[in-house]
A and B are shown apart, each in its own frame.
Chain A
Amino acid sequence: MSTYDEAIKKYDPVLGLETHVELSTNSKMFCGCSTEFGAEPNTQTCPTCLGLPGSLPVANAIGIESTIRIGLALNCSIAAYSRFARKNYFYPDMPKDFQTSQYDEPLCSNGYLDVLVDTDDGTKPFRVEIERVHLEEDTGKLTHAGGATGRIHGADYSLVDYNRAGIPLVEIVTKPVPDTGEYAPLVAKAYVTELRDLLRGLNVSDVRMEEGSLRCDVNLSLTPKGSKTWGTRTETKNVNSLRSVERAIKSEIERQSLELDKGNKIKQETRHFQEDTGTTRSGRSKEVAEEYRYFPEPDLVPIAPDKAWIEKLKKDLPEQPSIRRTRLAKEWNFTDLEMRDVATLGGVDLIADTIAQGTSPASARKWWAGELSGHASKAGVELIDLKITPTDIARIDSLVNEGKLTDKLARQVIEAVLNGEGNPDEVIKKRNLSVVSDDSALIPAIEAAIAANPDAAAKIREGKVQVVGVIVGAVMKTTGGSADAAKVRELVLKTLGQ
């Protein structure tokens, strides 16, 4: 029995997820600086987000609205009176040495998100309860130079980029999630996937895990079967992809169970997920409670959202991702499993956009979930980050349907588009990739194929046309896939007197 199965037999995991979402507002949370990703370090800063003496924050109304919309989409209650609070601690990535956040008066609280997970007994729903959704500011980004670990301890020096400081950050904290058993890793992954789609649907964030606009911390503890008290939890950070969410939990379940089996206690600590090994390593100990000296931010006025406004925001929420998926699956004639695969890949919108341009749902799914998801996973990015658009795919698909591209050629076109060689038509022109259906160009190849396969040729002459595939295949091979297969078949049969 695997370590994991052993662990699950003896212990019940209790999950908890803290997700940070960078909002895609044009300006930062408390000043007018741009939030654009990837600018030269420290060019998107001002006295306020640098925390210069005398500077003051002014809250970004869109940031507050987005947070409330997230709360509403997560079935939360919205506070009638909410305040920002200062979280005090010293760290060089924080210009003021306190983070403007929320403490005991968050904007949204007590919600839930339902997710579906495939179990041995079929697809099962799990409810993940939401503790709170609050709004805060991001910190600057530290780069540690020199030293072995890439961390601040042991570094020769550290560089700070305050472009990120002050970008609005929404923190979504779940309540502890018990009773998921062996499906704990899948429930966590389904939750983050669902949350990502929900946020994308709300159009409040880019939700790109690899750019850090969606970051996830995973809390996990194990309870011995039959026990009523939960075990000590660890908090795993640096979980930067959906796959990592699943792997991190699985590995932490295994690690904790081995410790408990040995009679050791689990240390309350922060752990870091390591992408290469798929395991977590020990970080900061959290046994001593952190002292943040929270108090209400005196530089910002309290937020008292108008009830009618909240009702309006609620009414204007987009269709929930799960409901939308059910509707689309029916429209597109996808099975539940197909739809869930597409959703996990983050491909629902891409497929919808491709279909909107005339491609059949089945073809759209084939391209995105088949061909392109392979490219994405090879490149270690998400589907949406590939340098190819639904328009490109719709065009390629229609060329295939018109017989101007074979599947094989289409794949070459896709590769070239991904390489930045231009749109499909430009690529086809540049690389001269159009399908060969000209008789004179095909005849020599057909004759050569017949000569190379005398047995098959003889059978066809005798009327066994079903073996024509052997000759057609040989022709396709020698023409590098650029021949029109239907045309080849016709010519082969004609040449062999059929």
Chain B
Amino acid sequence: MSDLTKLSAVELSSELTKGSVSAVEVTKAHLDRIDSLDKSVQSFLHVDKTGAIKQAEEVDKNRKENKKVSSLAGVPLALKDVLTQKGVPTTCGSKILEGWIPPYDSTVVKKLKSAGIVILGKTNMDEFAMGSSTENSAYFPTKNPWDLTKIPGGSSGGSSAAVSAFFAPLAIGTDTGGSIRQPAAVTGIVGAKPSYGGVSRFGLVAFASSLDQAGPFARTVLDCAMLHEVMAGHDPLDSTSINQPVPDVVSAAKLQDVKGMKIGIIKELGGDGWQTGVLNRFNESVELLKSMGAQVKEISIPHSLYALATYYLIAPSEASSNLARFDGMRYGLRVDDGNLSAEEVMNKTREKGFGKEVKRRIMIGTYALSSGYYDAYYAQAQKVRALIAQDLTNAFKEVDVLISPTSPTTAWGLGERVNNPMAMYLADLATLPPSLAGIPAMSVPIGLADEDKLPVGLQIVAPFMNDDRIYRVGGAIEASLKTKWNGLLIDQAPALGGAK
């Protein structure tokens, strides 16, 4: 097997099952590629070589002994550094957690381990998942494998870069306002945010509890669905976890048929201010869906215009409380010369340990929750959130899924928006409404923008716990474009030499 890193998870699974390749060989091939190329991409914060090989050996042993193993056993994966893995450092891209080794596995990691999926290491991210470019990582910025001068999206930019650079066929990200979908879009891969409560948050270091949701990245829709199926399911350790069967996303991804489906274009997400190349590719996919037999019409989600303002009150409010525990008292960074009071240690630790964007959001959130401002900001934002959700519920009375471009632009240059938070926040314009409503959404690659030859993503949104629908539409579009391009979009990635 010449290049194991070019295979999809499904292809690897079939080779592993046949026995033509071992899990250790697959793991080593990916570790070698990371070794030689991640210097320039910088997608990993921590590569767990020993742990990964040990896991792979276990899978090989189980296969040899004819023990029942899951279909993804032996397939490697990159894990966003916001989910705990027992014994492996978790930093959330922050200096305040440097050196912390969690003593427990997140539920997602537990599920990955029991499926025999090999965890290669922890990927870079915007500090505490706050950002859209991974430049807010306290360690280093990650580069977009399509063009190393561009951002890989964020906050799960390490995961999107790792998958698009063929360091792993699968990755886990988390999405609070678009942190899976936007990085997937700008790196030309598939990323899905499940329904809120579909995947357990136990062990996911919280940014905004009512919005955070872990989800899969892959280079194909089917791979993504297979990983989704492993991650999802009810967890008694997470009160907000949904106690319902996991939607059959794998069958939906294989269906490749949208005939008769009613698809709504979100009217408010597009038009002036959106990159022409993005809109061109989006309009082509609308035509493509029509040609495949879908009924497409425009639908208004009027309150989506307020999604950005709503999100930037609710998420920072929750963050201001969630991030309080990083006070130097129990773990991670502690600034203390031995003569400081507890209060001074807390202040100095937080001053030194948190980056600029994290501090900005803690301050916004603290303000919005303060008495005298609560009603005008936090409470008001919750009301608008309900209206946005209501708009979407109403829309789903008319259509099966909604679509929009995933992000208004393609990947921008590193450093371009670091001093302009508003420009950075606008990258999430289209991904915020589904996040606020807690409904599932996916980004699939639909081509390259004419101006910069960088990937464009299509966002597909479905009603709560109908995650299968996003896979059905995503799988159909991917199949059709694959025929047109004679391969996946990611196969056209020019960077890193050996990509093709």
Contacts and interface: CB of A to CB of B under 8 A. Distances in A.
Interface of A: 47, 50-59, 86, 88, 90, 92, 95-98, 152-153, 158, 160, 289, 291, 293-295, 298-301
A25 B307 CA distance: 43
A299 B209 CA distance: 6
B205 A53 contact: yes
Contact of B104 (A51, A52, A301): A52
A28 to B, nearest CB: 14
Contact of A54 (B203, B343, B346): B203
Given A47-B104, A90-B346, A58 B236 contact: yes
B293 to A, nearest CB: 41
A95 B239 CA distance: 20
A296 to B, nearest CB: 9
Contact of B329 (A92, A152, A301): A92
B356 interface: no
A58 B235 CA distance: 11
Given A88-B324, A298-B210, A56 B239 contact: yes
Given A56-B201, A88-B369, A51 B239 contact: no
Tell me if B's interface is mostly helix, strand, loop or mixed: loop
B331 A88 contact: no
B102 A53 contact: yes
A230 B410 CA distance: 65
Interface of B: 83-84, 90, 92, 97, 100, 102-104, 106, 201-206, 208-210, 236-240, 317-318, 320-321, 324-327, 329-331, 341-343, 346, 366, 369-371, 374, 378
Nearest to A301: B239
Contacts of A291: 370-371
A96 B104 contact: no
Given A90-B324, A98-B324, A294-B369, 17 more contacts: A53-B92, A53-B326, A53-B331, A54-B83, A54-B84, A54-B203, A54-B206, A56-B202, A56-B238, A90-B343, A97-B324, A98-B321, A293-B320, A293-B369, A295-B317, A298-B240, A300-B240
Contacts of B102: 47, 52-54
Contacts of B203: 54-55
B202 A55 contact: yes
A48 to B, nearest CB: 8
Contacts of B331: 52-53
A152 B366 CA distance: 26
Contacts of A95: 325, 330
20 contacts: A47-B102, A50-B330, A53-B206, A54-B205, A55-B202, A56-B237, A56-B238, A96-B324, A97-B325, A98-B321, A98-B324, A152-B342, A289-B371, A293-B366, A295-B317, A295-B318, A298-B208, A298-B209, A298-B240, A300-B239
Contacts of A294: 369
Contacts of A301: 239-240
A146 B454 CA distance: 64
B324 A54 contact: no
Contacts of A58: 236-239
A53 B325 contact: yes
B169 to A, nearest CB: 25
A84 B58 CA distance: 44
A135 B343 CA distance: 28
A416 B240 CA distance: 56
A88 B371 CA distance: 12
A98 B318 CA distance: 12
Nearest to A289: B371
Contacts of B210: 298
A153 B324 CA distance: 22
A84 to B, nearest CB: 10
Given A57-B239, A158-B342, A299-B209, A51 B369 contact: no
A291 B209 CA distance: 22
Contacts of A298: 208-210, 240, 318
Contacts of A158: 342
A293 B325 contact: no
B342 A53 contact: no
B81 to A, nearest CB: 11
A295 B321 contact: yes
Contacts of B343: 90
A289 to B, nearest CB: 7
A165 to B, nearest CB: 11
B106 A54 contact: yes
Contacts of B369: 88, 293-295
Contacts of A92: 327, 329, 342
A54 B202 contact: yes
Given A97-B327, A293-B370, A299 B378 contact: no
Contacts of A96: 324-325
A276 B418 CA distance: 62
B370 to A, nearest CB: 6
Nearest to B91: A53
B204 to A, nearest CB: 6
Contacts of B318: 295, 298
Nearest to B200: A56
B108 to A, nearest CB: 10
Contacts of B205: 53-54
A58 B107 CA distance: 14
A53 B97 contact: yes
Nearest to B208: A298
A214 to B, nearest CB: 28
Contacts of B90: 53-54
Nearest to B204: A54
